[in-house]
Structures are given as C-alpha cells and as structure tokens.
A and B are shown apart, each in its own frame.
Chain A
Amino acid sequence: MTAQTTAIEAAALALGDDALVLSHRLGEWAGNAPVLEEDVALANIALDLLGQARVLLSLVGDEDELAYLREERAFRNTQLVEQPNGDFAHTIARQLYFSTYQKLLYGQLASGEGPFSGLAAKAVKEVAYHQDHAEHWTLRLGDGTPESHTRMQRACDALWRYTGEMFQPVDGLDVDLTAMENSWLASVTAVLEQATLTVPDGPRTGAWTAGAGRQGLHTEPFGRMLAEMQHLHRSHPGATW
C-alpha cells in the first residue's frame, strides 16, 4: 500500500477482498456439494460475489494483479470469509452471518450518494437471494435431525467470534455501523431461534475473539487458500485462454 491510497480505495479493497475470498471458498464446493442443486446454487452465489469483487477491485487497480499477485498481508478481507468450508453446516453458518451483513451494508450504501451506490443498488438485490438461501438452510438443518441440529449449532458457535470484525470501522466507508450491527443481531437471532438453535453466547469483540483481517492479519488456512488461488497465475504469468 502506498501513501496515496485514498480512503475510497481502502474501502473498495476491503469490500472487494471480502467478495473475492468468499467467492473462492464457495467455488471450492463445485463438484463436492451434498446435492447437485446445491452445487449449482453455491456456484451461482460465488459468481455473484466474483462480479462484485471485479467491480470493486477495478476501483483500486488492475483486478488480476490485485487478485493473483498480492501477498497474504496485503489482503483486507475479514477473517470470517476466509474460514475453511468445513462441513456443509459451517458453510451455511458463514453464509448466514456474511450475507446478512452484506445485505445491510449494501442497503445502506445504495441509499446514499457515495462512490459505491451504483454497485450497491444492484448487488443488494442479488445478496437478498444469498441471504434467503442461507436462512432456509439454517432452518432446515437446525430444525432437522438431531445430527444436523448438532452440526449446525457447532458451526454457528465456531464462527461466532469472527462476526464482530464486520462492524469495525473501515476507512472510506460511510455507514452507520451501530445500526447495522443491531439489525444484524436481531435478524440472525430471529433465524437461529426459529431454527431451534441457541444464539451463541461467546464474545464477538475484544479478548478471545478474532478479527484483524482488515489490518492484513489472517488466519492460518488463508495462506493455503491463497496459494491455490494464485498458483496458476503465478506459474504462467500473462497466460491467456
């Protein structure tokens, strides 16, 4: 990062990296999802996110260079989106937490006049389907068999400590984070309760929580994900189809 990086670019990088990294994680399900329809659904959600990432990263610089040639510490995504897919329940918990946040974020940005309003107005409608998808699966797994309930609860608990980071201030992002966090908590609580799950009681900020991704500190699995994502481009620089 150079000193000229403007606040808007910093915000575009943070949101763009969230979308890019989650898109890649969801893409890892291709060919592995529990049912064919889910394979297709997760690929479609990944594609929506990739589209958002391309628009956002293009505001910062060359999208390919940013995606394929940056080192781990230069990525500004939250630690939540880089978490491994785990079992299907973990993926759904991550989707629930993130799509609920992203819907609120784009909703606020769309109603403003800022540099992201055009993209946000478009993406908010796409993300509404992602949220709907995550909520339905949370209900199905939470209120399903004892096994699916246990796994869904475990996933919600495991990812809970990463959720505070989404509401940390980001340079250049002009949104009401307190209002967003309150709406997020209310929305997630309602879905978990309807799914007969317990809202995790662990902390979301402060000691014993995670969340320094926006500062470039990432969890251990992210390095491996990045190696896989960047391998082809780095091995064959400038290659085209």
Chain B
Amino acid sequence: MVTMTALEEELSRIAGAVPDPELPVLTLRELGVLRGVQVLGPGRVEVELTPTYTGCPAIEAMASDIERALHDHGVPEVSVVTVLAPAWSTDDISDEGRRKLAEYGIAPPRPQGPADGPIPLTLAIRCPHCGSTDTELLSRFSSTACKALRRCTTCREPFDHFKEL
C-alpha cells in the first residue's frame, strides 16, 4: 500500500463517511469496501471501491454518492474504479460496523478467517432483538443476496442475518 498524503487521508475520510445505500446505518469505511483514494493531479482524484457481491447493484449508487461527496468538497474530477481482488469478505466489516448492524436489527456476520466458502460455523447466531442464541434459518436469501432470513425461537421475531462471505 502506498503511503497517503495528508490530502488523500482527508479525502479518504470524506469518501469513507458516505453511508451504504442499502444499509445506511453503516458507512462505506465500516463496511470495508473503500480500497484507496489517490490524488492523480490537481483536482483529479481516483477512488478504488470493491463490491460486496459481484452482482451487487448498490455499487453504482455508492460510486455516485462518493463522487457527489468529493465534488461537494471541491474536487472537480472524481473517478471511481471497481476492484475485485483481493475479494471482499465479511471479515472486512469493522467492529463498529458489526455493533451498528446488531443495533439496527441485523445479526452481524460471524468471523471466519481464511476460507473459500460457507464453512460450517459452530458459533451461534444471536437474535438481535432479545439476544437468544436459539434461532432457526427461514431462507438462505433474504431482501438482498448478502442476507439470510432467520427467526428467533425465543421471542418469535424474524430477523436478517448478514451471511458470512
């Protein structure tokens, strides 16, 4: 990783503070999708963004939100490029991001370590409403590809679980 200049750090803070369009409680920095900010020349900035899922439709909204935030900060020329490697993982969501997800009613993804798929995880998924670990899977895919739908068998409330990826 190249060392950032003070300006790049500042612009990176601004881009990173942009809320995720699908989960606005998280910033792009907390989601871990902001890969880098580079000043290419006077008034010209390139931002590297990685998608959560290859087909994530939110990536275009993220890119235009970043462009707008940096324009508002006085950068006339902003280009957002998408990078696939190294692949984003739910391990890239920050601790603060996990805390906010749970507060928002979404069970955060469990930590995984290196793997190439959904490894059998033994850690229980906790109900974000009552904290019970007695929960069951209702559907592997919920409102978006990154979430599964579960139900708490203690308080009977359904909830979304951010799937490990």
Asked, given contacts A37-B149, A103-B117, A128-B118, whether A52 binds B140 with beta carbons under 8 Å apart, the answer is no
Assembly CA distance A40 to B141 (angstroms): 7
Contact of B145 among A48, A55, A118 (CB under 8 A): A48
A125 near B165 (CB under 8 angstroms)?
Answer: yes
Proximity bits, A46-57, B CB within 8 Å = 1, else 0:
011111101100
Identify which of B51, B141, B142, B143 gathers the most chain A CB atoms within 10 Å of its CB.
Answer: B141
Asked, given contacts A37-B138, A128-B117, whether A118 binds B84 with beta carbons under 8 Å apart, the answer is yes
The stretch from B8-16, B29-37, B38-46, B54-62 touching chain A is: B54-62
Assembly CA distance A55 to B51 (angstroms): 12
Contact of B55 among A52, A129, A136 (CB under 8 A): A52
A1-53 residues at the B interface, CB under 8 angstroms: 37-38, 40-41, 43-45, 47-52
Q: Which residues from chain B contact A49 at a C-beta distance below 8 Å?
A: 55
Contact of A122 among B88, B143, B145 (CB under 8 A): B88
A48 near B54 (CB under 8 angstroms)?
Answer: yes
Asked if B96 CB lies within 8 Å of chain A CBs, one says no
Asked if B104 CB lies within 8 Å of chain A CBs, one says no
Q: Which residues from chain B contact A52 at a C-beta distance below 8 Å?
A: 54-55
Contact of A47 among B55, B116, B139 (CB under 8 A): B55
Asked if A124 CB lies within 8 Å of chain B CBs, one says yes
Proximity bits, A163-188, B CB within 8 Å = 1, else 0:
00000000000000000000000000
Interface residues contributed by chain A, number (CB under 8 Å): 32
B132-152 residues at the A interface, CB under 8 angstroms: 138-145, 149
Asked if A210 CB lies within 8 Å of chain B CBs, one says no
Asked if A204 CB lies within 8 Å of chain B CBs, one says no
Asked, given contacts A118-B84, A128-B116, whether A51 binds B141 with beta carbons under 8 Å apart, the answer is no
Instruction: Give A109 Cβ to nearest chain B Cβ, in Å.
Output: 12
Asked if A69 CB lies within 8 Å of chain B CBs, one says no
A interface, over-half SS? helix
Asked if A132 CB lies within 8 Å of chain B CBs, one says yes
Asked if A110 CB lies within 8 Å of chain B CBs, one says yes
Instruction: Give B85 Cβ to nearest chain A Cβ, in Å.
Output: 3
Assembly CA distance A110 to B138 (angstroms): 31
Instruction: Give B52 Cβ to nearest chain A Cβ, in Å.
Output: 10
A103-129 residues at the B interface, CB under 8 angstroms: 103, 107, 110, 117-119, 121-126, 128-129
Assembly CA distance A117 to B84 (angstroms): 10
Assembly CA distance A136 to B118 (angstroms): 14
Contact of B140 among A118, A124, A132 (CB under 8 A): A132
Q: Which 5 A-B pairs have the closest CB atoms?
A: A51-B55, A128-B117, A118-B85, A51-B54, A37-B139
Between A and B, 22 residue pairs with Cβ closer than 8 Å are A41-B139, A41-B141, A45-B141, A47-B53, A47-B55, A48-B53, A49-B55, A51-B53, A51-B54, A51-B55, A55-B84, A119-B84, A121-B87, A122-B51, A122-B88, A124-B116, A125-B117, A125-B118, A126-B54, A126-B145, A129-B140, A133-B140
Please report A residues at the B interface, Cβ cutoff 8 Å.
37-38, 40-41, 43-45, 47-52, 54-55, 103, 107, 110, 117-119, 121-126, 128-129, 132-133, 136
